């Protein structure tokens, strides 16, 4: 038997509905912020990431799915989106043809060869945004507040926003020197990875999970002491915005993020589910001052973040904000006997194309068994069709919640169903399929209701 590749997972229909709900909510919020969707290829030339994400990052050193294609070109399955999007921004000269900032959002699979564990997969889905070409600190602030609003909209009101400032180039150069000085006497005892990090990018050591190095990192000099006046002021103004917007945050001076392109503000959203499970950061991002230039474009900055949709899904299920369920159908068509199959299939398709989610029984089974199937599929009504009904151009509609049934002419079927749905099964925002004539119903059926009318 063939198995899935280690670290990947199948999203079965029982969960894919939740997955799509998350993606569609996040996309609709990004759209409200006037971000536009971009779709870039999964495959990029490897240098996009080695130059973009950085040779010193764990992602580039250890985690990329990189191979030579049949033309001997080194290509990589994207481990993240930002570098590929910046490549596209430059290649398509968006900086010259569009108003800046160019505001983009995206969703799709990314690949990292990491050790699989809770919330960590080798193929995972990211949703993110990038705002390219604007240096206003309020652009950074807008991006953070958008990410925060998205988590709130998903029902996650207990996220911990961690922020840090990595400063401008000069601040980071000074800080890296200070870190080297600090770690130098301990280099022999540090893990092999950190020995390399020491040479390539000592900031990375602050992220090390090996106990000895982690302890050591806690006592390392803090970036705040090395920030230039401009970086400090920029950071203060963003904090002021967060305070005024009542966005809770904490400053985490160990937060350096795993990608080398960041400068100035970086942030991450931590969340522990109500059952106490820690799936890792739900998302993270920051400002990148030089990535566009590094990849051959003009000297323009960018800012963005990405969420891990797999982790969002896992916490939403864990907190029972989302349920694992296959969405219900509206109608279940039950043909009685094999002589009415053509008519039943045509009737089913007509109902589908009129907007009713409809399923059809293909098996020649007893009526009772068909009712059981209808109930299992969550159908509200059964549409029963026997030889007599076909002869008389009629169908029987049975309300499965009330055990009531009625024979009606096929020509009247749609208006009959529309009437039933209007009064009983409104799909409005506030009720998601509940009866909108219920007491206490707040839906304004003219403006709110998305039912079949
Ligand atoms: P990142 O922190 O590497 O940032 O990834 C963002 C999010 O993707 C993480 O917080 C996590 O939720 C999810 N994620 C990462 N790796 C995995 C994995 N192996 N399994 C499941 N989920 C994972 C970036 O990728 C940056 N490009 C974010 C960014 C956008 N910065 C600026 N713009």
Q: How far is the centre of ligand 1, averaged over its atoms, from the C-alpha of 320 (Å)?
A: 24
DSSP state of 117: B
Integer Cα distance of 110 and 131 in angstroms: 20
Integer Cα distance of 86 and 238 in angstroms: 24
User: Model confidence at 114, in pLDDT bands (50, 70, 90)?
Assistant: very high
Beta-bridge partners for 335: 385
Q: What are the pLDDT digits (tens) for 33-91?
A: 999 999 999 999 999 999 999 988 899 999 999 999 999 999 999 999 999 999 999 99
Q: Is the same domain home to 73 and 121?
A: yes
Lowest mean pLDDT among 237-246, 420-429, 433-442: 433-442
Percentage with pLDDT > 70 across the chain: 93
The answer to whether residue 237 is domain-embedded is: yes
Beta-bridge partners for 161: 249, 269
The answer to whether residue 128 is domain-embedded is: yes
Q: Last residue of a domain, which of 268, 292, 318?
A: 318
Q: What are the pLDDT digits (tens) for 144-170?
A: 999 999 999 999 988 999 999 999 999
Give which of 297, 295, 299, 303 is closest to 263, Cα–Cα.
303
Phi-psi region of 71 (alpha: psi -120 to 50; beta: other; left: phi over 0): alpha
Q: State pTM to two decimals.
A: 0.90
Q: Is the same domain home to 289 and 362?
A: no
Q: What are the pLDDT digits (tens) for 222-265?
A: 999 999 999 999 999 999 999 999 999 999 999 999 999 999 99
Task: Round to the nearest angstrom and report the end-to-end CA distance of the chain.
Answer: 49
Integer Cα distance of 130 and 116 in angstroms: 27
Over residues 130-155, mean pLDDT? 97
> Most distant CA pair in the chain: distance in Å?
93
The pLDDT value recorded for residue 422 is 73
Taking residue 283's Cβ as centre, other Cβ atoms within 10 Å add up to 23
User: Model confidence at 423, in pLDDT bands (50, 70, 90)?
Assistant: low
Q: Is the same domain home to 303 and 248?
A: yes
Beta-bridge partners for 266: 164, 286
> Per-residue pLDDT for 448 more than 60?
no
The answer to whether residue 433 is domain-embedded is: no
Peptide bond before 101: cis, by omega within 30 degrees of 0?
yes
Phi-psi region of 144 (alpha: psi -120 to 50; beta: other; left: phi over 0): alpha
> Per-residue pLDDT for 387 more than 90?
yes
The pLDDT value recorded for residue 33 is 98
Q: Is the same domain home to 283 and 340?
A: no
The pLDDT value recorded for residue 420 is 84
Q: Is the same domain home to 27 and 164?
A: yes
Please work out whether the CB of residue 83 comes within 6 Å of at least one atom of ligand 1: no
Secondary structure class of 405 (helix, strand, coil): strand
306, 307, 315, best to mutate for ligand 1 pocket (most atoms within 8 Å of CB): 306
The answer to whether residue 174 is domain-embedded is: no
| Phi/psi at 317 (5° precision) | -70, -45
Closest residue by Cα to atom 22, ligand 1, is 308
Torsion angle, alpha carbons of 52, 56, 58, 64, to 10 = 50
> Per-residue pLDDT for 432 more than 90?
no
Residues 6+ apart with CB under 8 A from 360: 332, 333, 335, 344, 345, 348
The pLDDT value recorded for residue 209 is 87
The answer to whether residue 222 is domain-embedded is: no
Secondary structure class of 238 (helix, strand, coil): helix
Closest residue by Cα to atom 2, ligand 1, is 284
The answer to whether the beta carbons of residues 46 and 74 sit under 8 Å apart is yes
Give which of 244, 262, 210 is closest to 52, Cα–Cα.
262
Two structure tokens written together for 145:
């507040």
The answer to whether residue 342 is domain-embedded is: yes
The pLDDT value recorded for residue 427 is 47
Closest residue by Cα to atom 11, ligand 1, is 308
Q: Is the same domain home to 291 and 337?
A: no
The pLDDT value recorded for residue 449 is 46
Integer Cα distance of 395 and 314 in angstroms: 44
Please work out whether the CB of residue 287 comes within 6 Å of at least one atom of ligand 1: no
CATH number at residue 384: 3.40.50.800
Q: Last residue of a domain, which of 272, 296, 318?
A: 318
The pLDDT value recorded for residue 157 is 86
Residue 50 is inside which H or E element, if any?
Answer: helix 46-52
Q: How far is the centre of ligand 1, averaged over its atoms, from the C-alpha of 113 (Å)?
A: 13
Lowest mean pLDDT among 33-37, 209-213, 272-276, 423-427: 423-427
Q: Is the same domain home to 338 and 313?
A: no
Question: What's the CA angle centered on 272, arms 266 and 275, to 5 degrees?
Answer: 170
Q: How far is the centre of ligand 1, averaged over its atoms, from the C-alpha of 283 (Å)?
A: 6
DSSP state of 340: G
Q: Is the same domain home to 279 and 389?
A: no
- C-alpha distances in angstroms, 136 versus 101, 168, 302? 10, 14, 10
CATH number at residue 251: 3.30.930.10
Q: How far is the centre of ligand 1, averaged over its atoms, from the C-alpha of 196 (Å)?
A: 23
Q: Is the same domain home to 309 and 345?
A: no
Q: Which domain holds residue 120?
A: 13-168+228-318
Two structure tokens written together for 299:
């000297």
Integer Cα distance of 126 and 79 in angstroms: 10
Beta-bridge partners for 131: 103, 303
Taking residue 37's Cβ as centre, other Cβ atoms within 10 Å add up to 11
Give which of 49, 125, 137 is closest to 86, Cα–Cα.
49
Integer Cα distance of 164 and 53 in angstroms: 19
Q: What is the CA radius of gyration of the chain?
A: 28
Please work out whether the CB of residue 286 comes within 6 Å of at least one atom of ligand 1: yes
Average pLDDT, the chain: 92
Two structure tokens written together for 392:
């008389």
Q: How far is the centre of ligand 1, averaged over its atoms, from the C-alpha of 126 (Å)?
A: 7
Integer Cα distance of 119 and 97 in angstroms: 40
Residue 270 is inside which H or E element, if any?
Answer: strand 263-270
Bridging pattern class, strands 249-251 and 283-288: unpaired
Please work out whether the CB of residue 271 comes within 6 Å of at least one atom of ligand 1: no
Q: 139-153, 185-199, 317-331 — which one is most confidently predicted on average? A: 139-153
Q: What are the pLDDT digits (tens) for 393-407?
A: 999 999 998 878 999
Q: Is the same domain home to 284 and 363?
A: no
Please work out whether the CB of residue 283 comes within 6 Å of at least one atom of ligand 1: yes
Percentage with pLDDT > 90 across the chain: 84
The pLDDT value recorded for residue 440 is 46
The answer to whether residue 213 is domain-embedded is: no
Give which of 210, 187, 213, 212 is closest to 198, Cα–Cα.
187
Q: Is the same domain home to 284 and 362?
A: no
State the total domains in the chain: 2
Integer Cα distance of 344 and 324 in angstroms: 31
> Per-residue pLDDT for 307 more than 70?
yes
Q: Is the same domain home to 21 and 87?
A: yes
The answer to whether residue 452 is domain-embedded is: no
């Amino acid at each position: 038997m063939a198995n899935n590749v280690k670290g990947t997972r199948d999203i079965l229909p029982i969960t894919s509905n939740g997955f799509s709900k998350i993606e569609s909510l996040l996309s609709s919020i990004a759209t409200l912020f006037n971000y536009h969707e971009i779709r870039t290829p999964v495959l990029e030339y490897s240098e996009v990431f080695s130059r973009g994400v950085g040779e010193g990052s764990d992602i580039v050193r250890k985690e990329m799915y990189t191979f030579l294609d049949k033309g001997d070109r080194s290509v990589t399955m994207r481990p993240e989106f930002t570098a590929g999007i910046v490549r596209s921004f430059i290649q398509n000269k968006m900086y010259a043809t569009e108003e800046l900032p160019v505001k983009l959002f995206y969703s799709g699979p990314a690949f990292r060869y990491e050790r699989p564990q809770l919330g960590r997969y080798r193929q995972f889905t990211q949703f993110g945004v990038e705002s390219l070409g604007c240096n206003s600190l309020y652009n950074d602030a807008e991006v953070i507040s958008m990410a925060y609003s998205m988590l709130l909209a998903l029902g996650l009101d207990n996220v911990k926003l961690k922020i840090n400032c990595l400063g401008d180039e000069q601040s980071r150069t000074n800080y890296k020197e200070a870190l080297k000085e600090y770690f130098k006497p301990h280099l022999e005892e540090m893990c092999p990875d950190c020995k390399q990090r020491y040479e390539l990018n000592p900031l990375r050591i602050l992220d090390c999970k090996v106990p000895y190095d982690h302890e050591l990192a806690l006592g390392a000099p803090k970036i705040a002491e090395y920030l230039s006046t401009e970086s400090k002021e920029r950071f203060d103004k963003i904090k002021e915005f967060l305070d005024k917007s009542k966005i809770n945050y904490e400053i985490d001076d160990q937060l350096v993020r795993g990608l080398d392109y960041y400068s100035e503000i970086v942030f991450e959203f931590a969340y522990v589910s109500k059952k106490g499970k820690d799936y890792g950061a739900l998302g993270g991002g920051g400002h990148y001052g030089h990535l566009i230039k590094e990849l051959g474009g003009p000297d323009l900055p960018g800012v963005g973040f990405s969420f891990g949709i797999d982790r969002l899904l896992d916490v939403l299920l864990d907190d029972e904000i989302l349920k694992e369920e296959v969405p219900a159908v509206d109608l279940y068509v039950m043909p009685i006997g094999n002589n009415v199959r053509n008519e039943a299939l045509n009737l089913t398709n007509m109902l589908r194309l009129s907007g009713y989610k409809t399923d059809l029984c293909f098996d020649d089974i007893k009526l009772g068994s068909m009712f059981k199937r209808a109930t299992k599929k969550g159908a509200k009504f059964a549409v029963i069709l026997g030889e007599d009904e076909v002869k008389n151009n009629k169908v029987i509609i049975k309300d499965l919640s009330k055990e009531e049934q009625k024979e009606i002419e096929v020509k009247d079927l749609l208006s009959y169903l529309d009437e039933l749905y209007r009064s009983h099964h409104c799909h409005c925002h506030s009720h998601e399929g509940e009866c909108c004539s219920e007491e206490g119903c707040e839906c304004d059926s003219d403006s709110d209701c998305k039912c079949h009318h």
